């Protein structure tokens, strides 16, 4: 019996946490009691000393030598003096050494509990992470299988119609690319299956049991320390009087009965035993390939000319990792052997003597031995997992003997009697005609060839400084639907999806800060070309034109390559979307606040005669800061809900860039609570909580993590409707891990797992929502009043939760406590939170 075999399940884990909490509370209570006892004995010793002093004031008489009463009293006074001195010495040792040991033990007990929680969470996180990776690979696999079917059907359809030229080439290229991605994804999915199966086996058979056994040894050592402290107390408070002897004997017997080795193996294990965790079978999902016709075989790696190099690289990488792990295991095994030999020697000494130094050394070595076994188990498990991947890849590579087959058959050449150029022209004429409608009104003036090669292409690094760039604003460029102003590269690339998609945007030279204009094109990836100005016109590699619209119209209509190196051709202009507003349509009226990236104004959106709130972005911000500024708008534009602040659009034709949202007249919820909170009834306050939970439930359904939910980031609209606002820290994913530290994190509103591990899920928002409810019912008081952020964090880790503000309904405080459960899996989801608040509001 032991932790590793009997306490693997969730019920046992919770019982272990409760037990450790109870032990810590017990030790803290013992500390308070010993302190009281020491104070009492100290006063008692002082009283006895006073009595002795009083007795010694009696002068000697002639009767001392003959009167037994005098002699008896003299003896009593002398022995009382001896007893008072003994008592004083015991009190000093109890107050200093024993209490110091107890303080250290309590600290170690708390550290042990935190270490257990952190390590258990780490092991579960790693197990969940590898399963999540399997699911991501599976979903990507499903998507690529569907895409492959579509691309194949499209290619075969064009081929069957006898068409050749760019359409056939495009379809062929797209089919090849999709097939390559599919085959690589297939391999990743298969390897993930092998990897997760191996990891699970190691997790259930070695890693988790050894971790629990190691924790058991730690707890037993702490029990040994507890026993020693109680022995010290028993010894120092034993007065050896006949009337006290039975009491102290009973205390000694009780203390002696403590046996660390069997502390947890009797009642505790019997009451909290759970069955060992069972294996989950991870199988290849054959349903993915039901409608797929190709060379893929379920649960088998594909080795062909598209995947061969990637598999060779994977084999090499895993082989290097295996070598390092095996060397690490050898070092650990040597160290473990030395520990076992030392433990055997100490075990023999322990049977011969019960000296405290031997007992302490034995416990430490036993603990280190268990820890060493646990570490070796984790390394072996990792080796097994890597070996499965290595052997699987090696076996399949050996089968092809460095001569991988072709993934796709050869494609037939076009008929000899057809010209590819003619087909291209015929196939694109109608499309170009449609595009001309979007480019209507543009005239091509006479052209003058510039002999100066002023064009540069860049595809990875943002536009660099070039000779000849000027801040000249081309005529009527802002009127063109395909001109997207100062929208950043990252936002632009989201709009370009197919080969030939293009738009024009404004950027700045990083060295000179001069305005320059960039043609962004999708052509086998995103490409960005700086439009050069010189000799009175705008150009790429060919002729120059007086205006950029004329240059773009020529490139589009003639199908000319932008550059010979890129071979990019302009097919389809990407026009501004409805949410891309014109700066001239927005009138800023009054400053109403400050944001992280600029000022916030009340303004007017003239096309709809609508009062709006406008967040501006300072011109001095870096490219990365502008991206973060626009992230809030990109997230908000997808949402439409009465309890989410409404997004109007983004104005980015020129600086300053602006995010335009609905104007909520009531202002920030925090300000409202502090000014008018006292006028609100409990039902009205609950209704505010319900509104906020409704908005958060909607965000949860959209896989949005807000990460900064607080009263300061909510707004109050008409009829006191609460709206969630400020999405500057939000992320659109089920789980987000902070990679750039914990700067500017609102600690008092943030869940423990986010603070400890940087890991955010919607359950972190649930914790923050509990703080928001507390803010609402405290009428805007800062949470954890009187504590610094660090103190609040430490108190939370120790189990502290804020008491209910005055006037808080009991059911609502119960909901607060549920949202503040330390384990995020025990917190309610927002749908449940909203239901409970709605029921509570209806009952008031």
Contacts of 572 (CB under 8 A, 6+ apart): 431, 435, 498, 500, 501, 502
Examine the residue annotation and report whether 708 is marked as an active-site residue of this protein: yes
Measured distance CA(505)–CA(459) in Å, rounded:
15
d(CA 524, CA 498): 8
Q: Are 307 and 184 in contact (CB under 8 A)?
A: yes
Cβ-based neighbour number of residue 737 at 10 Å: 14
3-state DSSP helix/strand/coil % of the chain, to nearest 5: 60, 10, 30
What angle do helix axes 99-160 and 166-202 make, rounded to 10 degrees? Answer: 150
**Rounded-to-integer distance, Cα 108 and Cα 115, Å:** 10
CA dist 744 and 581 (Å) reads 31
> Tokens representing 90?
């015991």
Active-site residue identified among 232, 708, 726, 765: 708
Q: According to the model, what pLDDT value does residue 635 have?
A: 75
Q: 638-666: buried (b, 16+ CB within 10 Å) or exposed (e) per residue?
A: ebebebbbbbbbbbbbebbbbbbbbbbeb
Residue 440 has what DSSP assignment?
Answer: T
Which bin fits 660, alpha (ψ -120 to 50), beta or left (φ > 0)? beta
Q: Distance between CA 384 and CA 377 in Å, rounded?
A: 10
Nearest alpha-carbon partner for 750 in 710, 694, 696:
710
Burial class (CB in 10 A: 0-12, 13-18, 19+), 825: exposed
Q: In the prediction, which pLDDT does 251 show?
A: 56
Cβ-contact 522, 496 below 8 angstroms = yes
Q: Helical H runs in 401-511?
A: 420-438, 489-495
Structure tokens at 75: 């003896």
- H or E segment and range at residue 311: helix 308-352
Residue 429 and residue 36: Cα distance in Å, rounded?
97
Cis amide prior to 656 (ω within 30 degrees): yes
Rg of the chain, C-alpha, whole Å? 38
> ∠ CA 282-288-291 to the nearest 5 degrees?
150
Give the integer Cα–Cα distance in Å for 118 and 165.
61
pLDDT along the chain (844 residues), means of 10: 85 91 93 91 89 82 61 69 79 90 92 91 89 92 92 89 84 92 92 91 89 89 91 80 57 68 69 82 83 81 84 86 90 90 84 71 86 90 91 87 73 40 30 36 34 35 33 60 84 89 86 85 92 87 89 90 91 88 88 80 90 85 71 78 90 84 90 92 95 94 88 92 82 58 76 87 94 96 90 92 93 96 94 95 90
pLDDT at 647 (0 to 100): 87
Instruction: Supply 735's token pair.
Output: 């789980």
pLDDT at residue 694 in the model: 95
Cβ distance 532 to 539 under 8 Å?
Answer: yes
Residue with tokens 């499209």: 154
Q: Residue 372: how many CB atoms within 10 A of its CB?
A: 20
Taking each helix axis as running N to C, give the angle between helix 242-256 and helix 208-236, from 0 to 180 degrees, rounded to the nearest 10.
170
């Amino acid at each position: 019996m032991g932790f590793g075999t009997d306490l693997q399940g969730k019920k046992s884990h919770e019982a272990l946490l409760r037990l450790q909490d109870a032990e810590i509370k017990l030790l803290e209570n013992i500390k308070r009691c010993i302190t009281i006892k020491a104070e009492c004995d100290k006063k008692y010793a002082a009283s006895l000393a006073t009595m002795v002093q009083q007795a010694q004031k009696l002068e000697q008489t002639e009767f001392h030598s003959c009167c037994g009463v005098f002699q008896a009293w003299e003896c009593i006074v002398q022995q009382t003096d001896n007893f008072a001195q003994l008592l004083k010495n015991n009190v000093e040792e109890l107050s200093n050494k024993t209490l110091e040991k107890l303080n250290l033990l309590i600290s170690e007990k708390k550290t042990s509990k935190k270490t257990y929680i952190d390590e258990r969470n780490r092991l579960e996180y790693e197990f969940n992470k590898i399963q999540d990776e399997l699911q991501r690979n599976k979903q990507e696999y499903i998507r690529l299988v569907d895409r492959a079917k579509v691309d194949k059907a499209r290619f075969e359809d064009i081929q069957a119609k006898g068409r050749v030229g760019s359409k056939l080439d495009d379809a062929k290229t797209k089919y090849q690319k999709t097939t390559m991605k599919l085959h690589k994804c297939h391999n990743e999915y298969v390897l993930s299956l092998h990897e997760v199966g191996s990891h699970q086996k190691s997790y259930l058979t070695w890693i988790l049991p050894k971790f629990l056994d190691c924790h058991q040894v730690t707890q037993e050592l702490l029990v040994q320390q507890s026993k020693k402290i109680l022995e010290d107390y028993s010894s120092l408070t034993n007065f050896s009087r006949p009337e006290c002897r039975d009491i102290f004997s009973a205390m000694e017997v009780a203390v002696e009965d403590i046996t660390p080795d069997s502390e947890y193996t009797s009642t505790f294990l019997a009451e909290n035993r759970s069955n060992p965790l069972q294996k989950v079978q991870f199988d290849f999902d054959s349903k993915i390939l039901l409608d797929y016709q190709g060379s893929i075989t379920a649960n088998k790696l594909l080795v062909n000319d598209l995947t061969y190099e990637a598999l060779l690289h994977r084999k090499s990488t895993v082989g290097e990792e295996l070598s390092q792990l095996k060397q690490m295991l050898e070092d650990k095994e040597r160290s473990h052997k030395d520990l076992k030999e030392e433990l055997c020697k100490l075990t023999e000494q322990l049977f011969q003597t019960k000296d405290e130094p031997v007992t302490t050394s034995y416990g430490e070595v036993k603990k280190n031995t268990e820890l060493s076994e646990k570490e070796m188990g984790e390394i072996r498990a990792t080796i097994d997992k890597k070996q499965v991947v290595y052997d699987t890849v090696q076996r399949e590579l050996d089968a092809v003997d460095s001569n991988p087959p072709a993934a796709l058959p050869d494609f037939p050449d076009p008929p000899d009697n057809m010209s590819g150029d003619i087909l291209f022209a015929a196939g694109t004429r109608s499309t170009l005609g449609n595009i001309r409608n979007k480019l209507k009104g543009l005239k091509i003036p006479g052209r003058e060839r510039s002999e100066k090669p002023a064009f540069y292409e860049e595809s990875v690094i943002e536009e660099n400084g070039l000779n000849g760039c000027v801040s000249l604003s081309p005529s009527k460029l802002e009127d063109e639907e395909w001109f997207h102003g100062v929208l950043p590269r990252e936002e632009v690339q989201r709009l370009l999806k197919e080969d030939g998609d293009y738009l024009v945007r404004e950027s700045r030279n990083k060295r000179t800060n001069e305005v320059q204009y960039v043609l962004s094109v999708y052509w086998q990836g995103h490409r960005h070309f700086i439009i050069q100005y010189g000799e009175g016109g705008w150009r790429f590699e060919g002729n120059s034109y007086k205006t950029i619209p004329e240059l773009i119209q020529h490139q589009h209509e003639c199908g000319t390559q932008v550059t010979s190196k890129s071979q990019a051709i302009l097919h389809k202009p990407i026009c501004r979307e409805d949410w891309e507003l014109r700066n001239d349509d927005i009138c800023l009226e009054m400053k109403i606040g400050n944001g992280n990236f600029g000022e916030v104004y009340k303004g007017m959106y003239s096309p709809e005669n609508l009062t709006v709130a406008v967040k501006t972005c300072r011109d001095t911000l870096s490219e990365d800061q502008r991206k973060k500024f626009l992230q809030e708008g990109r997230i908000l534009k997808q949402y439409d809900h009465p309890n989410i602040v409404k997004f109007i659009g983004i104005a980015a034709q020129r600086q300053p860039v602006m995010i335009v949202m609905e104007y909520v007249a009531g202002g920030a919820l925090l300000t409202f609570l502090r000014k008018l909170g006292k006028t609100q009834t409990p039902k009205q306050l609950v209704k505010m909580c319900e509104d906020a939970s409704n908005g958060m439930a909607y965000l949860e359904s959209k896989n949005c993590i807000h990460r900064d939910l607080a009263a300061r980031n909510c707004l109050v609209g008409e009829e006191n409707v609460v709206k969630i606002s400020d999405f500057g820290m939000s992320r659109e994913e089920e789980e987000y891990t902070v990679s750039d530290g914990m700067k500017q994190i609102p600690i008092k509103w943030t869940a423990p797992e986010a603070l400890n591990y940087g890991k955010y899920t919607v359950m972190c928002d649930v914790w923050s929502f509990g703080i928001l409810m507390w803010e609402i019912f405290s009428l805007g008081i800062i949470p954890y009043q009187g504590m610094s952020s660090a103190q609040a964090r430490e108190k939370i880790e120790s189990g502290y939760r804020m008491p209910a503000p005055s006037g808080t309904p009991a059911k609502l405080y119960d909901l607060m406590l549920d949202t503040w459960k330390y384990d995020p899996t025990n917190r309610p989801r927002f749908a449940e939170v909203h239901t409970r608040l709605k029921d509570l509001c209806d009952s008031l």
